[in-house]
Amino acid sequence: MTEAEALQTARDAVAIALDAGATSADASVGVGRRFSVEARDTTVTKLEQSTGKSLQVRVFVDGRKTTFATADFEPAAMRAALARAVAQAAHVESDPLARLPDESADDVPDLGLYDAALAERAEEAGADDVLAMERALRATDARVDNSGGSHYGSAVSVVALANSNGFAGSYVTTRGSRSTGPVATDGPHKRTAHYGTAARSLAELESNEDVARTAARRAVEMFGARKPQTARLPVIFERDVAAAVLSDVFSAISAANVAVGNSWLVDRIGERIGSDLVTIVDDGRLAGLLGSSPFDSEGVATRRTPVFERGVLRSFLFDSYFARRLGAATTGNAAGGGIGPNSFYLEAGTGSLPELIAKTSRGVLVLDTIGFATEHASGTYSRGARGFAIENGELAYPIEEFTIAASLPDMLAGIDAIAADLRFDGSVVSPSFRVAEMTVSGG
């Protein structure tokens, strides 16, 4: 299905819903072509290719909303299904806030989300990638003697949306990824690690060799790891782990959580919470990024929303429903029936991660966290972790089986250094940063 055909299908679904008695409606069409391949050692172990399509329609009847989804685009089937959706609305409680957004995007700019080189890449090249990563893992370090698999994936997606207020828009995206998971033998222990890269274009993916080298290093550098002593110490979060911390911050920023009191940021707009170094932004219009799109899942234009500016909380993130509920305006963050990030990121600082380590006389570098123990209403944060002890500005020895704990408000307030290693390889990303003090619980 072409982009034009997808958009026409969305328009047709809206028209059918209105003919069936809907007061208003919107329809989104997604079409995806996906390819993935996996290898272990010298063997391709999995190869998958699929093409799928879906239609989702929101039907509004005098303040009552129902949702219909299907992969059957035949007009007769759509008419029958949408007639049922309109009839079912009579059994739904009325909610005056449940309606189409009051605004829609008035433009659909080309954000550079499609790469022909990735879309047209031969399947054989993907298979070559995974075998090359497997070879490079073992060539990097002989102690890497197995893997959980090396993976390459690509996707081409068409997104089209139309509503009864007159909006209609569409765009096409690509996404590629490479990743690998080495296993290294450390005496009686097996050390595992993972590293990957993802981007809209083939040229922006890290090379097979770089992905493999980084993953292998992560596995073998943990040889001989031991528990640290319990202490209050500075903690450096490497950028991938820092992004996971930022995901917890996003949960507190989501208006869906704020509206029900499940956020430690309720009633704190305008308050200084983070340090002066903390500027966190959500931006859906950055060219070529995985978190970018010209409009959200309601057809509202994406935009740049400062969330924290120099530590001060400026805004939550909204779809149209929760914006109405909280007396605000949508920020263009509707996503699949909820609120989601576009490119949600902590602005980069200066210097490299090694330079940040060198400026830390004693502390902990966290390379991985385990478990889920964030209490969003209070902001309590606790995770199992592994990484390195830092002594005299150097990585002293690997550590594992310890816990790091603090509250998210204290962590944001305690950020006293941020590196410049921000990498936009997802929708929630962060550079490495240091928190001045946290509880490290070990032996």
Between 14-23, 131-140, 182-191, the lowest mean confidence (pLDDT) is in 182-191
pLDDT of residue 371: 78
Name, of 54-58, 142-146, 189-193, the range with top average pLDDT.
Answer: 54-58
pLDDT tens, position by position, 198-213: 999 999 999 999 999 9
Is there a contact between 218 and 225 (Cβ–Cβ < 8 Å)? no
CA pair distance 123, 129, nearest whole angstrom: 10
Confidence (pLDDT) at 373: 67
For 316-330, how does the pLDDT look when each residue is reduced to its tens digit (9 = 90+)?
A: 999 999 999 999 999
pLDDT in tens, 245-270: 999 999 999 999 999 999 999 999 99
| pLDDT score, position 86 | 94
Mean pLDDT of 184-207: 93
Q: Could you read off the pLDDT of 366-387 as tens digits, one per residue? A: 999 987 667 888 889 999 999 9
End-to-end CA distance of the chain: 59
- Confidence at residue 194, expressed as pLDDT on a 0 to 100 scale: 94
- Nearby residues of 171 by Cβ (< 8 Å), 6 or more positions away: 3, 108, 111, 113, 158, 159, 293, 294
Q: Percent of the chain scored above 90 by pLDDT?
A: 94
Residue 186 is predicted with a pLDDT of: 85
> Using CA atoms, how far apart are residues 17 and 86, in angstroms rounded to an integer?
7
Counts for the chain of helices (H) and strands (E), in that order = 10, 21
Which pLDDT belongs to residue 337?
Answer: 86
Mean of all residue pLDDT scores within the chain: 95
Confidence at 442, pLDDT banded by 50, 70, 90: confident
- Spatial separation of the C-alpha atoms in residues 338 and 90, rounded to whole Å: 23
Domain boundaries, the chain: 3-220, 225-443
Residue 207 DSSP one-character state? P
Superfamily of the domain at 3-220: PmbA/TldD superfamily (3.30.2290.10)
Q: Where are the alpha helices (DSSP H) in 278-385?
A: 320-325, 353-358
pLDDT at 375: 81
- What is the 3 state secondary structure string of 417-441? EECCCCCCCCCEECCCEEEEEEEEE
Q: Do 68 and 129 contact (CB within 8 A), yes or no?
A: no
Structure tokens at 228: 């640290």
